Each structure stands twice: as structure tokens, then as C-alpha cells.
Amino acid sequence: MNYKKIFMAVLVLSVADAIPASADECRGLVTKSFDGPYPAKAGDIIEDLHQQDAKPDGSPLTYGVHGGGIYPADNIKLLNCHIVKHNKISKYDPSYLTILNADEGSPQRLTQEYKPDFDCAKIPPNNGVAVMLCQNSDAAKQELIFDQTYYALRQKVGSEGWKSLKQEVVLSENAMNQQCGLPIPGEPNQEIPDQGSACYIEGMAKLTEQYKKRLSGSALEEANRDIDQHIALQQKLIDLGYLPATASADGVYGEETRRAISTWQRTSGRPSADGFLSDADEFVMLHPSPEVKEQKPAPEIPPAPEATVPHDTQPSPVNTAPEKSALLKLAEKQGVADHIKGISPTVVLLIVLSLISFYFLPTIVSICRKANKTLSVFIVNLLLGWTLIGWIVAIVLALTYETKGEYALRMAAFKKMSDI
């Protein structure tokens, strides 16, 4: 990048405003819903935005659609656009002027800044490839694209195939890194070769296409989607509450996002809840049709006519004796009614609940430990718990199965291995 040209552009535009420029032909993501003459919902993608004049009072810049609506800048995140020169003199957002080329009239591309799907503030020492991904937006973007395909394939093979798939991907990435001459993590020299980043981008693109051949149907439709659209869809899941507000919309669909997609598919009445966002799912999520539910008042129930008693007849006597409970009737049938008549029903209920709790103690222990296979413990407990051996087996499983926290740490370790 020519920093001299950048400085000249900012200086000329800030002092004399003689080389006006604006962001044009932009593609924006609605980050926060807003009303007005041209309402939009969070997650919507707006095409053909162009930058309007900044207001003299310093209020936020606005963006307009060619031949249409005006959208507030605070609610729009520009994904990409061109910087163009024109003859009209006006004030502009300085963040876009800094990349204007003051010597050439050709537009330059303002692109989304991409980061890898790991925390760049916690890069392990002696890992030049990780540093490259945090510094090179294009390389990080290609890594995100590959990760999206990988996680789609991971969803397809299921948990039984995760380990073998992970090992295969790690070997493929290591071989590609060696072909590009990229440094091996842990070694003293972590310098990236001159063409290392370009080679990495090309190699990851080839790996993406290689693994994409194993996908089909909605999984392939999802993998072929642009990464910016994945980011918009993930942000939509956050805005709708299917993902926590603290979640990061990086465009990679991990396990949490897959569960959120499945939940959205079920609650939205989609044909499949397989966790893949097909093209049809994408359209429905970003362009939901308004559902008008007619609220019908509850029909009024006319009061029942009061029964009248003829004056010349006497009302039949009413039996005021309390009805016997089902438990007491059963006790009388078994001949033990006299033994339990003095026991409070509350005490009997507590005894029954205590016995049930003891029977399902293995399941309760598994739930409290947050075991990863609580369902297996419950099945053994339910079907075989009435036998002493079956109950003992269930409690042993409940105490020894891997917890969800341990499982998450193990998966994080595998993920970290792939990054290294």
C-alpha cells in the first residue's frame, strides 16, 4: 500500500475538499432493525447502496439505495463497496477517504476485514501461520470458507466420523503448508515466504473444492454460499434469539450454530430440520413472510338454566360423606385399610416420591454431572434398573461417562491441533 498517496488524499480532502469522493455500489448488512418509510430487518442484505452527504451538525451519515430508500449508517455494516470520485463537493466519512488514491481516478475496492475463527489475541508462540491469518484478511477469508465446508461435512458424517475426518483434514492441511514452504509451528524460524500467503490461499481453495465434492443437496447449497451471506445468516440467528447475543458471527457453523439452525427449522415449519441451510431456508430466514394470525374471540357460553324444584316435591337428600380416595379403595381391596387410615396422604406421597427418586438416582447423578451420554444412562436405568445389577451398571455409567465440559475441552484441543 502506498502510504504517501494515502496521506496526500486525506490532506487534500480535509483541507480543500477539492477531490471529493464517496462510497458507492456498496453491499450492506442490516445489523439492527429499523422502521420508517423504508424499513429493514436485522440480517437483511441491501444492494446498491451509495453514501449520502454527512450532516453539518455531525449526526450519523446515511446510506441511500439507487432510486429508492434512505438507510441510517448506524444500522448498516458495509460489507464491500467502491470508492469513486465525482464532481459534487460535500463532506464524507473519513474512514473511506483514507484509501482513496489521490493520483489515479480508478476506483479501489473497500472490502470486509476478515479474521480467522480463533482468538488472535491468544496466538500460541512460534506459530507463523496463525499470525499470517490474523494479519492477512484474504487468507483468513479463505480459511473461513474452508472451515464452513469442513463443518458442513462434519455435520453430514455425524459424531461417529468426526475423529477420522479431523485426522484427514489435519494431514491435508499439513501437506499443503509444506508445499507452500510455510513454517512448522514450534520451530524457531516462523517467517512466511514471499509467496506464502498467496500459496496458502490457493491451496485452501483447492482443499475446499476437494472436500465439497462429498456434499450434496442442502449441504452443498450451503457450502456454495458466499461467506458474507453466512455471516448475515448467523447474525440473523443471533438477532432472533436462536444464538446467544454474545455469539460471534464469523460465518462458520459450529455445533452451537447447527443446533440453532435445527431449532429454527422446526419452529418455522421447514420441510427438514437437518441443520443445513438450503437456498430455500436462506430466503425464508432473510425474507420472512408476515404471518397474520386472526384472533377470534372465544364464543360466549350461555349460562345454564337454573333447575327449578316444584313446590309440591321435596328435594332428595344429598350425600355429604367425603368420597374415598383411590389409594384407600385399593387398600381396602388388599385388606390393609386399617393400617394406613392414620397415615397422612402427604406422607404417603413423600414415600412414593422418595422411592421413585432412588430408582432413578443414576439418571439424576448423570444430569447433575452434565454427562455427555445421559440418554444412555436413562435407558439402562429405566429398562434394567429394577434388577440390582442393572441399577449398579447405570450408576457406574453415570459416574464414569465424559461430561459435556470435558467433551468441549477435548474438541477445543482437536481444533487447536488443526490450527497448529
**Is residue 71 within 8 Å of 64, Cβ to Cβ?**
yes
Domain parsing of the chain, residue ranges: 3-111, 120-215, 223-286, 345-420
| Topology (CATH level 3) of domain 223-286 | Muramoyl-pentapeptide Carboxypeptidase; domain 1 (1.10.101)
Q: In one letter, which amino acid is 417? A: M
**Is residue 27 within 8 Å of 80, Cβ to Cβ?**
yes
Count the residues in the chain: 420
What's the burial of 308, exposed, middle or buried (CB within 10 Å: 0-12/13-18/19+)? exposed
Is 258 strand, coil or helix? helix
Q: What is d(CA 261, CA 258) in angstroms, rounded to the nearest whole number?
A: 5
Q: Are strands 62-65 and 45-51 parallel, antiparallel or unpaired?
A: antiparallel
Q: What is d(CA 142, CA 256) in angstroms, rounded to the nearest whole number?
A: 22
How far is Cα of residue 108 from the mean position of the Cα atoms in its chain? 33
How far is Cα of residue 62 from the mean position of the Cα atoms in its chain? 29
What's the burial of 45, exposed, middle or buried (CB within 10 Å: 0-12/13-18/19+)? middle
- Give residue-wise pLDDT tens across range 226-267: 888 888 899 999 999 999 988 888 888 988 999 999 999 999
Task: At 105, give phi and psi (nearest 5°).
Answer: -90, 0
Task: Please work out, in degrees rounded to the nearest 5, the angle formed at the alpha carbon of residue 237 by the alpha carbons of 23 and 136.
Answer: 50
Is 172 strand, coil or helix? helix
Q: What is d(CA 65, CA 44) in angstroms, rounded to the nearest whole number?
A: 14
Residue 254: which of 411, 44, 403 has the closest Cα? 411
Q: What is d(CA 314, CA 310) in angstroms, rounded to the nearest whole number?
A: 8
Mind listing the pLDDT tens digit of every residue in the chain (420 residues)?
A: 444 443 344 333 333 333 333 555 677 778 778 777 677 787 777 777 776 655 445 555 677 765 556 777 777 777 766 544 333 333 333 333 333 333 333 334 345 678 888 888 888 888 888 888 888 888 888 999 999 999 999 998 888 889 999 999 989 988 998 899 898 888 888 888 888 889 999 999 999 999 999 999 999 999 999 888 888 899 999 999 999 988 888 888 988 999 999 999 999 899 999 999 999 999 988 887 665 333 333 444 445 444 444 444 444 444 444 455 565 565 566 555 555 555 677 888 888 899 999 999 999 999 998 888 889 889 999 998 898 898 999 999 888 888 887 878 888 777 777 776
- Tell me how far apart the terminal alpha carbons of the chain are, to the nearest angstrom: 29
Residue 6: which of 90, 93, 86, 104 has the closest Cα? 104
Is 47 strand, coil or helix? strand
**Is residue 22 within 8 Å of 82, Cβ to Cβ?**
no
Q: Within the chain, how many helices (H) and strands (E) appear?
A: 17, 6
Residue 236: which of 26, 32, 49, 46 has the closest Cα? 32
Q: What is d(CA 265, CA 285) in angstroms, rounded to the nearest whole number?
A: 9
Q: What is d(CA 57, CA 50) in angstroms, rounded to the nearest whole number?
A: 21
Q: What is d(CA 219, CA 316) in angstroms, rounded to the nearest whole number?
A: 74
